[in-house]
């Protein structure tokens, strides 16, 4: 099986381009703001993650977002990152209903309190002005 997987390649330019597409402006600003505290850390995050892991072809961007939502809910106490990934999920084709269903499905696995905490973040994010309303909403 390992022979069918391609080696991880790091492409800084592709990573930064993909990051610009996937991440919303508040998330981009928060990551860039790290440079004052830890110079180069933001570039390392974007290059290694979006220029490396995300460049692998075995998972779609939509699949990756489902995994990200589940992982962040499981971790807990990562509300800004979870909100950003909710917005990214919408950009890669997840519906609001599918995003909510992720946390309903997770409840027996990660615990109801963590699922409820994630759903509070999801609800606030979907209700915010940063997420465009669908036809028929509002």
Q: What would the pLDDT profile of 87-104 be if each residue is shown by its tens digit?
A: 999 999 999 999 999 999
Same domain, 25 and 84: no
Question: Containing domain of residue 48, as a range?
Answer: 10-58
Q: Indicate the number of domains in the chain.
A: 2
Buried b (16+ CB within 10 A) or exposed e, 73-104: beeeebeebbbbbbbbbbeeebebeebbebbe
Same domain, 19 and 35: yes
The CATH number of the domain holding residue 123 is 1.20.1290.10
CA–CA separation, 94 and 31 (whole Å): 24
Same domain, 46 and 64: no
User: Could you tell me if residue 133 is inside a domain?
Assistant: no
Same domain, 122 and 65: yes
pLDDT, tens digit, for every residue of 9-42? 899 999 999 999 999 998 999 999 999 999 999 9
User: Could you tell me if residue 85 is inside a domain?
Assistant: yes
- Its pTM stands at 0.86
Same domain, 89 and 117: yes
CA–CA separation, 102 and 94 (whole Å): 11
CA torsion angle for 50, 52, 55, 60 (degrees, to 10)?
A: -70
């Amino acid at each position: 099986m390992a022979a069918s997987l391609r080696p991880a390649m790091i492409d800084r330019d592709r990573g930064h381009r993909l990051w610009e597409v996937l991440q919303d402006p508040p998330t981009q600003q928060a990551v860039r703001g790290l440079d004052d505290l830890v110079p180069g850390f933001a570039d390392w995050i974007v290059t290694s993650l979006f220029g490396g892991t995300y460049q692998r072809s075995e998972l779609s961007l939509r699949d990756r977002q489902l995994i990200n939502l589940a992982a962040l809910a499981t971790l807990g106490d990562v509300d800004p990152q979870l909100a950003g990934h909710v917005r990214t999920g919408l950009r890669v084709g997840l519906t609001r209903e599918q995003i909510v269903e992720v946390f309903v499905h997770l409840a027996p696995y990660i615990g109801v309190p963590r699922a409820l905490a994630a759903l509070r973040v999801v609800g606030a994010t979907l209700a915010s002005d940063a997420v465009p309303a669908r036809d028929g909403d509002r």
